[in-house]
Amino acid sequence: MTPVNQKAWFLVLPVIICVAFSAILPLMTVVNYSVQDIISPERRVFVGVEWFASVMRDEELHGALLRQLGFSLAVLLVEIPLGIALALSMPAQGWKASAVLVMVALSLLIPWNVVGTIWQIYGRADIGLLGAGLQALGIDYSYTGNATDAWLTVLVMDVWHWTPLVALLCFAGLRSIPDAYYQAARIDGASKLAVFRFIQLPKMRGVLMIAVLLRFMDSFMIYTEPFVLTGGGPGNATTFLSQYLTQKAVGQFDLGPAAAFSLIYFLIILLLCFILYNWMQSLGQQEATEAAHG
Amino acid sequence: MARIDLDLAHAYRANPRSDDDYALLPLRMSFEDGGAYALLGPSGCGKTTLLNIVSGLLKPSQGTVSFDGRDVTALTPQARNIAQVFQFPVIYDTMTVEDNLAFPLRNRGVSPDKIRARVGRIAEMLELSGQLRQRAAGLSADAKQKISLGRGLVREDVSAVLFDEPLTVIDPHLKWQLRRKLKQIHHELKLTLIYVTHDQVEALTFADQIVVMTRGRAVQVGHAAALFERPQHRFVGHFIGSPGMNFLPGRVHPEGVLEVAGQSVRLPQGLAHEPLAALRDFTLGVRPEYLTLDAPGADGVLDATVTQVQDLGTYWLLTASLGEQVMKARLPAQAEPPAVGQHIGLRVLNPHTCYYGADDQLIAAATASTKETLP
């Protein structure tokens, strides 16, 4: 056998240590909890996949997952088109562009819990501008009493908070389109709609994919804002996955089920992102083959 | 199709004061219906600005553009019915080659049968027939540029087709092909073509009429031979030709004697001199192709010292110094070139010599004359 110099392993050691401490060890701790019943720090019992089985059967979890999926879907359906529309209507150059950029980006600078607090006050029926305003219009609005109102308020809050991110990404995508494309479209007699459909939208595909993934992952993990605004209520109308997880892990200190839940949560996000990404990737190719055969 | 008349000036900034503020100095120009024109000049000379004004992408800050005598200054490119091809390929990524070519027609509501026929014809001309069903985004840069060219040529009723350095991204061997193709298409379709380029070979081979531009000014309009033989402006002499025209400072002395580059030289027999008599200071221009070696001291011949001799395959390029002035001469390949450091005579006064005034404009050109040369 030829002698092999094993010293090269030392070169990758720093990376292995970094990754181990930042990702693998914490994850394995969770895996460790998920297969044990920890009764007290001294007493623990190995239970295998029992926690996973019980979490999967948990009706409340099913409810939270459905609410979560509905919420994330609504977020994407509202924020992506709205972000594109916003980016299209923003001025392209000059001081106006800078001013609008700063204004649009403002809400992104506000910490999550502050956003929750702002909307909590804003939506209050007695003193909040929105709540009192709606009341004055004769609409019986209350995010603490009415489940639909609460859900809608959380959605509108997220749209207010995060649409600017989508808009900024789209704006960057739009600015990267060379002028010659617009000139060629004018020469070719393309309508505004055709310019959007055949130039702007295809050229924004890359940034839109990032926007969709970011907004999906973020909205799927939403915690702080509904926690501050509604605390998951009324009932469990706005109890999304991470809220439910926190109740289990911190509130009830069921570390085993909470760990199993975390892992399932993580896998769901991974799976959905994988599906979304591949779907959007294939969209471009599909369009091409459709066009080629149609 | 239309005859295009321009009488305009353009400045990108408001309230232009000096000439430098203008992208295009006031000019008056006509493009005949069905002609092939080239706008030739270095980068930043205003040729693209002029093209965009013709197409309507840009509104001139003063003056008018008219098509067939109708003022179209305020009209959009679509209303002017102009086609334009840009420097870098512009294609619609999500469409097939066929849809790309059909796009300008579909936007104008042409009937599907007509579109199919027209797209088929253009694709055949540009050798894209085999790729019609392919997605345009996946093609090579030159195939993409062919699509752009095709979109420019697909409408048969256009007033003019404008090309803005369309062959920049194309490989050299394909460039020749496409240029020939464009020329052929011009013959077949009889469209008015205006072609912007900074490449003189491209301009000279493509166009019947060439507009040479520099610093916002159109200095000469003419066909290749005129630009070569009688440059109306020193810039044309310098820009056209490889290498460009030689220029020497000169002064007219009485008695038909010229002082050129510090040397006195007599006009040779058989060369007209009358236009020169009215001059005092001038700049003499002579192309390297028209410089011949001669015995030093003869009429019309200047003394020079050879500083460099280069073998360029098809000709010798000779560099010679006359005091502070440097001249280049092209000698035929079969000639025996002089050695470096040798004293030679260069015949600078010959029937092809041009004379320029202080404003760089041509004031006189030597012509073969049968009259007595000297009083």
Q: Is the peptide bond between A234 and the residue preceding it cis, with omega within 30 degrees of 0? A: yes
Write out pLDDT tens, residues B295-347.
887 888 888 899 999 888 888 899 998 888 899 999 888 888 888 888 888 88
Write out pLDDT tens, residues A168-186.
999 999 999 988 899 899 8
Is the pTM higher than 0.80? The answer reads no
pLDDT at A158: 92
Say whether B86 and A184 touch across the interface (CB within 8 A): yes
3-state secondary structure labels for all residues of A107-164: HHHCCHHHHHHHHHHHCCCCCCHHHHHHHHCCCCCCCCCCHHHHHHHHHHHHHHHHHH
Structure-model confidence comparison of residues B19 and A153, the more confident one = A153
Question: CB of B58 within 8 Å of any CB in chain A?
Answer: no
pLDDT at A163: 94
Mean of the per-residue pLDDT values of chain B? 85
Residue carrying the six token digits 């005598």 = B69
Cβ neighbours of A178 in B, within 8 Å: 88, 90
Contact A218, B113 (CB under 8 A): no
Nearest to A190 among B88, B94, B107 (CB): B107
Structure tokens at A233: 């209520």
What's the average model confidence in pLDDT over B214-219? Answer: 86
Mutate: best of A188, A191, A192, A280, partner B, most B CBs <10 A? A188
Q: What span, in angstroms and rounded, lies between the C-alpha atoms of B266 and B260?
A: 10
Say whether B103 and A188 touch across the interface (CB within 8 A): yes
The count of other CB atoms within 10 Å of the CB of residue A189 is 20
Distances from the Cα of B95 to the Cα of B122, B134, B299, angstroms:
17, 9, 70
Query: Among A166-175, B135-144, B234-243, which range has the highest average pLDDT?
Result: A166-175
Residue carrying the six token digits 């253009």 = B122
Say whether B86 and A198 touch across the interface (CB within 8 A): no
Say whether B94 and A194 touch across the interface (CB within 8 A): no
pLDDT over threshold 70, residue B375: no
Distance of CA A137 to the CA centre of its chain: 33
Ranges of each domain in chain A? 45-281
Tell which residue, B93, B88, B101, B138, has the closest CA to residue A203.
B93
What's the average model confidence in pLDDT over B147-175? Answer: 86
pLDDT over threshold 80, residue B36: yes
pLDDT at B373: 40
Question: CB of B169 within 8 Å of any CB in chain A?
Answer: no
pLDDT at A155: 92
Q: Smallest CA–CA separation between A280 and chain B, in Å? A: 14
Write out pLDDT tens, residues B43-58.
888 888 899 999 888 8
pLDDT over threshold 70, residue B370: no
All domains of chain B in start order, with CATH: 4-235 (3.40.50.300), 246-365 (2.40.50.140)
Question: CB of B117 within 8 Å of any CB in chain A?
Answer: no
- Percent of residues, chain B, with pLDDT higher than 70: 94
Contact B105, B160 (CB under 8 A): no
Write out pLDDT tens, residues B239-266.
888 888 999 888 887 766 788 888 888 7
Residue of A nearest to B79 (CA): A189
Say whether A288 and B57 touch across the interface (CB within 8 A): no
pLDDT over threshold 60, residue B152: yes
pLDDT at B372: 39
Structure tokens at A127: 């003193």
Query: Under DSSP, is residue B372 helix (H, G, I), strand (E, B) or coil?
Result: coil
What's the average model confidence in pLDDT over B220-237? Answer: 89
Nearest to A292 among B96, B107, B108 (CB): B96
Return the CATH number of A45-281, one of 1.10.3720.10, 3.40.50.300, 3.10.20.30, 1.10.760.10. 1.10.3720.10
Q: What span, in angstroms and rounded, lies between the C-alpha atoms of A149 and B252?
A: 97
Contact B245, B237 (CB under 8 A): yes
Say whether A190 and B103 touch across the interface (CB within 8 A): yes
Please determine, for the modelled complex, whether the ipTM score is greater than 0.85.
Answer: no
pLDDT at B277: 64
pLDDT at B368: 55
pLDDT at B273: 58
Nearest to B104 among A188, A198, A292 (CB): A188
Residue B276: pLDDT band by 50, 70, 90 thresholds? low
Distances from the Cα of B98 to the Cα of A180, A197, B94, B129, B155, angstroms:
21, 17, 12, 9, 14
State the amino acid at position B300 in one-letter form: G
pLDDT at A287: 56
Residue B278: pLDDT band by 50, 70, 90 thresholds? low
pLDDT at B374: 38
Residue B141: pLDDT band by 50, 70, 90 thresholds? confident
Q: Which residues of chain A have pLDDT under 50?
A: 292-294
Cβ neighbours of A202 in B, within 8 Å: 92-94
Nearest to A288 among B83, B135, B152 (CB): B135
- Percent of residues, chain A, with pLDDT higher than 90: 27
**What number of helices (H) and strands (E) belong to chain A?**
15, 2
pLDDT at A80: 95
pLDDT at A76: 94
DSSP class of A8:
G
Query: Among A260-264, B250-254, B348-352, B356-360, which range has the highest average pLDDT?
Result: A260-264
